[in-house]
Chains A and B, each alone.
Chain A
Amino acid sequence: MLAAGIGSFVLAIIAFAADKSAPVKIGLNFYKPTGPLSGVTTVAIVVWFLAWGFLEWRWGKRAVAMSRITRVSLALLFLSILLTFPPIIDLL
């Protein structure tokens, strides 16, 4: 769950960075017909899978503080939704 929150947040942060910086936007142009969206989503998915694998390895068989993890995951997801909303990106 935390990995999904991290992956979503990374997607929002990279999309924000691509919107604000031309070099980042150009660097994320992995597949020309789709443009920077291809890089934004590919990087976010790779980070999500890496975070998922790492957290599963570290916490997979351990009892963890689920209440705090749930709150942090949902906060990251909520922030991600806000950060992809164009009027908020324009404000920052």
Chain B
Amino acid sequence: MEITARGLWTLLHGMGFGALYLLACSGALIEIYRFTTSSAPIGETAREERLLKHYLVAMVVLAWAAVLTGAYVIYPWYRAGPPAGAKDLALFPQQLLMSSRSTSGWHSLGMEWKEHIAWFAPISITMVAFVFFKYGRDLKNHKQLRAGILAFVLASFVSAGVAGFFGAMLDKYAPVQGGQTIQLSNGEAK
């Protein structure tokens, strides 16, 4: 069982940072709502507030890690142009997708949308974390602000979801491959 270095980076970007971020979004939505509408005494919620702050910081790190590895590590491999006269486009995913009418939409719609919409996730969640750090439990008294940050978490979830969906489909039709091969385990001979 082996994986290429580029495949490993793609796995880390999509499954490590992106998927984990998507999973965390539903937790953030529910916890922010619950925490800022709860009538529990202040003492009981101090620990919960600390936990939620750590949770949001982890989400901020995941979101930025996902877009930065995507844009500066994987995307250059994806958009690299082949040398003149190259017939095998397996190492040039964008060109491979554009070479057929049945797959070109995955680039012209999928990647073109994904490469921009993905950035709304870290921008939104960074703002949400900042507001939560600033107001904490006091968000209970600011209904408009609370509704606003919940809407931004939802928008961040949708943005990351769109990026994740197209990322998975692009990887299915034209995976980013190449680089050093990493041996994960030795398979048994049949």
Contact = CB atoms under 8 A, between A and B. Distances in A.
Interface in B97-154: 108-109, 112-113, 115-117, 119-120, 123-124, 126-127, 131, 142, 144-145, 147-149, 151-152
Contact of A86 (B79, B109, B159): B109
Nearest to B116: A84
Given A1-B131, A3-B127, A66-B142, A80 B148 contact: no
A85 interface: yes
A1 B145 contact: yes
Interface string A27-54: 0000101110110110011001000000
Given A33-B76, A40-B116, A81 B158 contact: yes
B155 interface: yes
B120 A80 contact: yes
Contacts of B126: 4
Given A81-B159, A86-B113, A1 B148 contact: yes
Nearest to B147: A70
Contact of B127 (A4, A15, A33, A87): A4
Interface in B52-97: 67, 71-72, 75-76, 79-80
Interface of A: 1, 3-4, 7-8, 11-12, 15, 31, 33-35, 37-38, 40-41, 44-45, 48, 66-67, 69-70, 73-74, 77-78, 80-81, 84-87
